[in-house]
Amino acid sequence: MNAKDLITYSVTPLKTSDTGLAALNMMEDLKVMHLPIVNSEEFLGLISQQDIENLNIPDEALGNHNLSLKRPFVYQDNNIYEIIRIFSSLQLTLLPVLDRKNNYLGVITLSELVHKFSTLVSADNPGGVVILELNNNDYSLSEIAQIVESNDCKVLGLHVTSFPDSTKIEITIKLNKIDIKNVLQTFYRYNYKVTASYSEEEFNDVIKDRFDMLMNYLNI
């Protein structure tokens, strides 16, 4: 799950011509403490409720002040774990998303992140995880399924991640067996590049670590 899958388009970014009072009203309506400032498609920075209150002139346009804006953001192909790390370390209520040309696309809100991540960690079916890297033209779902099923195993879930300006893709496969040694050996035999594999316990430890990080932030 990447940043582009989490974007909320209902948050209208601020303009430098907006006043501090208008920004505070928007924050109250949206139940957030941060808003992005965008000029056309250029992301200028993130302003907080505290920043506006410190200006002490709420009727003035934001562009009339020398704002020391922070520019935290993620690219649209950043994964959910990197997003959680930034939310937690910077104590944000939303996070802007840019494309690789640095154009503003939208924001991820903390509430949407929690919702999506809770969906991700609710997959209680036991099993292992295999991550493959291959050229886009070499991707064959039927062949991957055949390799898995030839080892008396089934695909519980599969996610494809593409990368900008690259012909490479990453395939993450959740299997219904904890012992996936035979599946891995068959992938190697078919010359697949296995970049990572996890047992159920290892994968759950990764998920639990990221989830605990998010929950600790929410309790701040």
Instruction: Measure CA 17 to chain center.
Output: 30
Please give the share of the chain, as a percent, with pLDDT higher than 90: 44
Q: For the domain bounded by 3-119, which CATH number is listed?
A: 3.10.580.10
What is the distance between the alpha carbons of residues 128 and 200, in angstroms, rounded to a whole number?
Answer: 5
What is the distance between the alpha carbons of residues 57 and 21, in angstroms, rounded to a whole number?
Answer: 9
Structural domain spans, the chain: 3-119, 129-198
Q: What is the mean pLDDT of residues 54-78?
A: 84
Q: Which two tokens stand for residue 202?
A: 């290892």
Q: What angle do CA 73, 79, 82 make, to 5 degrees?
A: 60
pLDDT at 209 over 70: no
A 10 A CB-CB count for 196 gives: 13
Q: Which two tokens stand for residue 61?
A: 């346009």
Q: Which two tokens stand for residue 71?
A: 């520019």
Confidence of residue 122 (pLDDT cuts 50, 70, 90): very low
Tell me the fold of 129-198.
Answer: Alpha-Beta Plaits (3.30.70)
Angle between helices 110-121 and 80-90 (to 10 degrees): 130
Round the average pLDDT of the chain to a whole number and report it.
84
Burial class of residue 137, CB neighbours in 10 A (0-12, 13-18, 19+)? exposed
Confidence of residue 220 (pLDDT cuts 50, 70, 90): very low
